[in-house]
Amino acid sequence: GIQVEQSPPDLILQEGANSTLRCNFSDSVNNLQWFHQNPWGQLINLFYIPSGTKQNGRLSATTVATERYSLLYISSSQTTDSGVYFCAPVSYSGAGSYQLTFGKGTKLSVIP
């Protein structure tokens, strides 16, 4: 199956700083999703981005499918941004189905 690598595994930021999280994947994918898992375990959709760049407030994401990577940018970080960020490429799993494969995540801690 597809392999997903996220970096860095851990990141500590001072409030107000910017950061870039990276997701590499080993095979062609149909789409890619970024999630934020909050301390209570809820997975929150951030972006559904097969290619190109999307922006939502202080967050933006870029996927370069031909080079098999995606980046998540967080600008002017806030303490509420803390949590684990997962990328999950969407790939065909057979019999007309698609599935997500999760990376191990980047644990972000934003300190005041």
Partner 1 sequence: GAVVSQHPSRVICKSGTSVKIECRSLDFQATTMFWYRQFPKQSLMLMATSNEGSKATYEQGVEKDKFLINHASLTLSTLTVTSAHPEDSSFYICSARDAFGTVNYGYTFGSGTRLTVV
Residues that bind partner 1 (CB under 8 A): 31, 33, 35, 40-43, 45, 48, 86, 88, 90, 93, 95, 97, 99-105
Non-local CB neighbours of 27 within 8 Å, separated by 6+ positions: 2, 3, 68, 91
Taking the least distance from each CB to partner 1, the nearer of 18 and 109 is 109
CB-side neighbour CA atoms (13 Å) of 6: 23
Closest contact distance (angstroms) between CB of 16 and partner 1 is 27
- Minimum CB distance to partner 1 smaller for 81 or for 105: 105
Which one, 33 or 77, has the nearer CB to partner 1? 33
Least distance between partner 1 and beta carbon 102 (Å): 5
Give ∠ CA 20-21-25 in degrees, rounded to 5: 135
